[in-house]
Chains A and B, each alone.
Chain A
């Protein structure tokens, strides 16, 4: 179910009367901070695919421990992945949502730089698939709206003069998609890692409880292995919290754009956006170490 495109509303009267002067001003001053923010937001949403891949990987690791203890002791990788097919499918829909969001931010950066928007037709088809996959209608609508905007912006040859109105029209959809990704990261993936940690503890604790007294040296090695696995999970949890903070900055940045849409060159907005960009870049640099 692809969202119905909301047409750009005509500018209000006070904008129409001042349009020539504003156009002249805008032509002289580039909202550089907006472009930088949009590129940072683009990089943030790009990182989601790595996070999403880890969600399926965590499921596979859980299934491996479960198979060892509860399923006859051995399963090949393909069998484990089949058990995580539902997770993989759900994650792919979330990745498509992030892809559309990424295209949106790339378009926003282009508009801020007074460049044309490039549009990948596959994106709209993917967004359509998300809508058909039983995904939350509200989120599917938001994804569809953003995909429709991208098509309109490309065919309508949008430039910087449309920037403020694009921010105004798309803000609700952007926030909805960012919120959906944020919830997946902070709640669903976090719980998946807790499940994996429980699986690790159950697996190794059972081994030590069964044979530890008879083979104390082996038990010590098993505990060390358990500690390594738990430490790896803790690193991923820490990275997730950081990524959630980056998404929160993306959200706050777009809301700031929306609030200041009548004056996108304002120094106060530039300062606020610059702060978000710095934080986002620091977080993404740390993330690259974890995923």
Chain B
């Protein structure tokens, strides 16, 4: 998958990602509480920890959107958005808490890669997100 050279997010792009990771965090939170009784304590704790991390990334992207920088990385962001959309849809197909942890971990890696603005890291994280989403529930 081709990705644009490393650069900074525009305000709108940062807002878009802030919202995407916020939604993922809230969906995973809902899953955790809905499956509270049938999820082992260790996996619950792990999932909760990833939720907090995703909320933190959402807040980080929100901060970037305040800062505002207009260099365009639209091609890279299209692939990142595709990755977050697939992960969000995959939450509806979760079969085990371990699936949820896998989605959360992949999403956190994707957010971290975008924040580093490293093209290779973003490409690898997007590929991992798509792979995880495709395998979830199958």
Contacts and interface: CB of A to CB of B under 8 A. Distances in A.
The secondary-structure label for the interface of chain A is helix
Interface stretch (A12-20, A31-39, A197-205): A197-205
Interface in B1-44: 8, 11, 15, 18-19, 22, 25-26, 29, 33, 36
Given A70-B52, A86-B60, A195-B22, A184 B66 contact: yes
A138 interface: yes
Interface of A: 55, 59, 62, 66, 69-70, 86-87, 89-91, 93-94, 133-139, 180, 183-184, 187-188, 191-192, 194-195, 198-199, 201-202, 205-206, 209
A87 B63 contact: yes
Contact of A183 (B11, B19, B51, B53): B11
A194 B51 CA distance: 14
B29 A202 contact: yes
A139 B66 CA distance: 11
Contacts of B52: 66, 69-70, 199, 202
A180 B55 contact: no
A135 B55 contact: no
Given A86-B63, A202-B29, A205-B33, A69 B18 contact: no
B14 to A, nearest CB: 9
A135 B65 CA distance: 10
Interface stretch (B67-75, B80-88, B96-104, B106-114): B67-75
The secondary-structure label for the interface of chain B is helix
A192 B62 contact: yes
A168 to B, nearest CB: 26
Given A187-B15, A187-B65, A137 B70 contact: yes
A166 B55 CA distance: 45
Contact of B62 (A89, A139, A188): A188
A206 B29 CA distance: 10
A206 B68 contact: no
B132 interface: no
B67 A90 contact: yes
Given A136-B68, A183-B11, A191 B36 contact: no
B68 A180 contact: yes
A138 B8 CA distance: 15
Closest 10 CB pairs of A and B: A136-B68, A90-B66, A70-B52, A90-B67, A87-B63, A66-B52, A188-B66, A191-B62, A90-B63, A188-B62
B136 interface: no
B105 interface: no
A105 to B, nearest CB: 22
Contacts of B69: 134-136
Contacts of B26: 198
Contacts of B118: none
With most chain A CB atoms within 10 A of its CB, the pick from B26, B59, B64 is B59
A66 B51 CA distance: 10
B11 A202 contact: no
A69 B56 CA distance: 13
A277 to B, nearest CB: 29
Contacts of B70: 136-138
A93 B67 contact: yes
B35 to A, nearest CB: 11
A191 B15 contact: yes
A87 B18 CA distance: 14
A135 B25 contact: no
A134 B69 CA distance: 7
Contact of B68 (A55, A70, A135): A135
Given A87-B63, A87-B66, A195-B55, 8 more contacts: A59-B59, A86-B60, A133-B67, A134-B8, A139-B68, A191-B15, A192-B59, A205-B33
